[in-house]
Homo-oligomer: A and B are copies of this chain.
Amino acid sequence: MPLRLRLEASLREPDGRWRLAAEEGHHLMVRRCASGDRVEGLLPGYRVELRLERRGDVWYGWEESRRSDRGSPVRLTLLAGVLKEDAWDALLRMATEVGVSRVIPLLCVRSVPRLGGERLSARRERWRRIVGEATKQCGAPEPPEIAPPRSVEELEEGALPPDRFAAFLSGDARPLPGEVFGDEVALAIGPEGDFSPEEGEALCRRAFRPISLGGRVLRAPTAAAVGCAWFTVFHEGGAP
């Protein structure tokens, strides 16, 4: 893998060169880079190949090529039981950071906030703002889509990716690392207190495979971050 630099703090000169931020220059010195070396520059949504040019203490990078960074090769839909405000916000932020493509909020039996009508529409607006901010902060090309909330029974199989997993605290769940999947995946995470037994059955009827995230009881936002990262972070550079 080539040396990688983040370009957010660097400046584009009129002739197209990047004048690299002082800190990135320092980094290049430490790594004993020289004029003519090639490095990879990261921008939100793009990766550029740069040819380095050093002038005294200042480093420049000439763009040799630029390609869209689609992020993870796995397109992941997260189905998550709606939570109290703080925990739900944390879940949305972390799901965005680790690269979820779509969030389907699940109105579960044990979901604490009861959403409906005006309240729901205000909440969805807020959710879009949160994932928008997280998208910018983490440098993702676009925010995850937030689908309208629904119950597990209202899930239509045809609208779901072919490989489906649901994290359960008990039952005959198997560790996630043993599972095989393609590039379109759904992962369901219950609300605090887990899915109800009926919701668990409804998920199994829809071909969700029961998986475990270890012997401990992870809170829902942690389970979402860790479970999603299995697909999007740890499979980014190819299968682990």
Contact between B215 and A226, CB atoms less than 8 A apart: no
**Is A218 in contact with B171, judged by CB distance below 8 angstroms?**
no
A232 at the interface (CB under 8 A from B): yes
* Complexed CA–CA distance, A229 and B222 (Å): 10
Q: A24 within 8 Å of B by Cβ?
A: yes
Q: Are A171 and B27 in contact (CB under 8 A)?
A: yes
Other-chain residue from B4, B93, B138, B172 in contact with A216 (beta carbon distance below 8 A)? B138
Cα–Cα distance between A27 and B232 once the two chains are bound (Å): 31
Q: Which of A56-64, A114-122, A123-131, A173-181 contacts B (4 or more CB under 8 A)?
A: A173-181
Complex copy number for this chain: 2
What distance in Å separates the Cβ of A60 from its nearest Cβ neighbour in chain B?
17
What B residues does A30 contact at CB under 8 A? 197, 200-201
Q: Mark A132-144, 1 if CB is under 8 A from B, else 0.
A: 0000011110000
Asked if A97 is at the interface (CB within 8 A of a chain B CB), the reply is: yes
Which of chain B's residues have a CB closer than 8 A to the CB of A140? 216
A1 within 8 A of B: yes
Task: Known contacts A1-B172, A139-B217; decide if A94 and B27 are in contact (CB<8 Å).
Answer: no
A interface residues, Cβ below 8 angstroms from B: 1-6, 23-24, 26-27, 30-31, 42, 47, 69, 71-72, 90, 93-94, 97-99, 137-140, 169-178, 197, 200-201, 212-219, 222, 225-226, 229-230, 232-240
